[in-house]
Amino acid sequence: MSNVATGSSLKGITTRINGRHAFVYERVLALVVRETQLRESVTFSKQDLARRMGCCACSVDRAVQKLRRDGLIESEAVYNEHGAQLGNVYRATQKGIDLASTFRREKKPARASEEAK
């Protein structure tokens, strides 16, 4: 597992896609796709990712289930030497990579006070 990133940064994972607020599953997919392309996979616990994304662990769990069910990502459990599960290793499938490539990132709209300058 030398090519596994743990706790990958959310920097660059946008909260707006195609002119609207990005759903949690889209943000998770974007993260998994980016890390798959950079490092072949990513490892994270759903609780940690949820905390960093500012949502609940149930939202991340539902997102991961949907992405797996739709064939966009694959996952494999990671265990420590005592058999306790540490998290999962996630990899994007080609289908997931293709879908994520359709996401158009957009900057947050400027504040009215900034537009007046």
What's the pLDDT tens digit per position in 44-97?
A: 888 888 998 889 999 999 999 999 999 999 999 989 999 998 888 999 999 999
| End-to-end CA, the chain | 51
Is 56 within the bounds of a domain?
Answer: yes
Is 87 within the bounds of a domain?
Answer: yes
The C-alpha atoms of residue 3 and residue 30 are separated, in whole angstroms, by: 18
Is 24 within the bounds of a domain?
Answer: yes
Is 1 within the bounds of a domain?
Answer: no
The pLDDT of residue 18 is above 60: yes
pLDDT of residue 11: 79
Range of the domain at 82: 13-115
Is 6 within the bounds of a domain?
Answer: no
Is 83 within the bounds of a domain?
Answer: yes
CATH code of the domain covering residue 21: 1.10.10.10
Is 7 within the bounds of a domain?
Answer: no
Read off the pTM: 0.78
pLDDT tens, position by position, 26-46:
999 999 999 999 999 998 888
Q: Are 3 and 41 in contact (CB under 8 A)?
A: yes
Is 64 within the bounds of a domain?
Answer: yes
**Closest by alpha carbon to 73, among 97, 55, 53, 50?**
97
Most confident of 82-86, 97-101, 103-107, 108-112: 97-101
**Closest by alpha carbon to 6, among 37, 49, 55, 68?**
49
Number of domains in the chain: 1
